[in-house]
Amino acid sequence: MIDTEKMPVVAFRDDELPTIKSAHSDSSEFEQIMRILVVEDEKGISNFLKEGLEEEGFAVDFAGDGRKGLELASVNDYDLLIFDWMLPGLSGIEVCREFRKLNQTAPVIFLTARDTVQDVVFGLEAGANDYIKKPFEFDELLARIRVQLKSRTGEQTLLKLGNIEMNLDTHRVFRGPQEIELTPKEFSLLEYLIRNKGKVCTRTNIIEHVWDIHFDSDTSVIDVYINFLRKKLNPNRKEEELIHTIRGVGYIARDE
Ligand code: CA
């Protein structure tokens, strides 16, 4: 006789998954975790930013020189990047220019002690979205970060995938006329897949954005959640499968 009470794997909830830790409080459990890269060579400023941004619920990576910064910016998927202007290796301007050459559109904010009009123009021409002058107040930087993130995600509150509609305001999901009940993690996972509709989402992308943990962690939990999601979105297997598996890589959401 199998005692299902002792088999958490049969029906575990978000908070029972052993390898998953949420850095977030309950109030933000539905939100996507925004990832920020900070490229800054002054330890004092890096530490100050790390503490402040993490407290605000952002996931933050750091690089202490331009080359390392460009490398991280090229391989990872950040929602926003903060570049110091004067850096060893490559300058913030050079990093930004190279980053834009990779067709990356994530917003970039410059931190700079330089503030002549010409410098600012130079920075914006290199592809920066905004700049902030050192020394700065953390609250001002935070406000500028929020403006950039908001204009990037827009005011879009209704996301669609085929006949699936998710309302980010009410947190309700419908497939056709049928409402689908999702847990907060399933909701975040579906939101991430739909926001990236038509693009392959690697397990690493997913785990970093939906769970806020790094890629050296076990990513098999993603497959478990994808299965939960598929079953809920298509309980009788009568609907089209809109979340497709890309073998060995990850998943892709498509309208058909
Ligand atoms: Ca510097």
Q: Tell whether 44 and 94 lie within a shared domain.
A: yes
Span from the CA of 65 to the centroid of ligand 1 (angstroms): 9
Average pLDDT (209-233) is 83
Task: Look at residue 19 and tell me whether its pLDDT is greater than 90.
Answer: no
Contacts within 8 Å (CB) and 24+ apart, 205-211? 205/77, 205/250, 206/250, 206/251, 208/33, 208/35, 208/59, 208/76, 208/77, 209/32, 209/33, 209/35, 209/77, 210/32, 210/33, 210/185, 211/20, 211/22, 211/33, 211/185
Tally the residues of the chain.
Answer: 256
Q: Tell whether 14 and 81 lie within a shared domain.
A: no
Span from the CA of 127 to the centroid of ligand 1 (angstroms): 19
Task: Look at residue 76 and tell me whether its pLDDT is greater than 80.
Answer: yes
pLDDT, greater one: 180 or 9: 180
Mean pLDDT of the chain: 83
pLDDT score for 217? 61
Q: Tell whether 48 and 145 lie within a shared domain.
A: yes
The contacts of residue 56 (CB under 8 Å, 6+ apart) are 142
> Residue 209 is part of which domain span?
4-18+156-253
Span from the CA of 93 to the centroid of ligand 1 (angstroms): 12
Of all residues in the chain, the percent with pLDDT exceeding 90 is 55
Q: Tell whether 39 and 104 lie within a shared domain.
A: yes
* pTM for this predicted structure: 0.58
pLDDT score for 156? 65
Span from the CA of 35 to the centroid of ligand 1 (angstroms): 22
Q: Tell whether 93 and 189 lie within a shared domain.
A: no
pLDDT confidence tier of residue 94, bands split at 50, 70 and 90: very high
Strands 172-175 and 59-63, sheet pairing: unpaired
Q: Tell whether 59 and 129 lie within a shared domain.
A: yes
Q: Tell whether 38 and 149 lie within a shared domain.
A: yes
pLDDT, greater one: 206 or 24: 206
**Number of domains forming the structure of the chain:** 2
pLDDT, greater one: 62 or 153: 62
Residues 98-108: tens digit of each pLDDT: 999 988 889 99
Span from the CA of 40 to the centroid of ligand 1 (angstroms): 6
Span from the CA of 86 to the centroid of ligand 1 (angstroms): 4
Span from the CA of 150 to the centroid of ligand 1 (angstroms): 27
Backbone angles phi and psi of 42, in degrees to 5: -90, 115
Q: Identify whether 88 is part of a domain.
A: yes
Looking at residue 215, which CATH number applies to its domain?
1.10.10.10
Span from the CA of 246 to the centroid of ligand 1 (angstroms): 42
d(CA 185, CA 18): 15
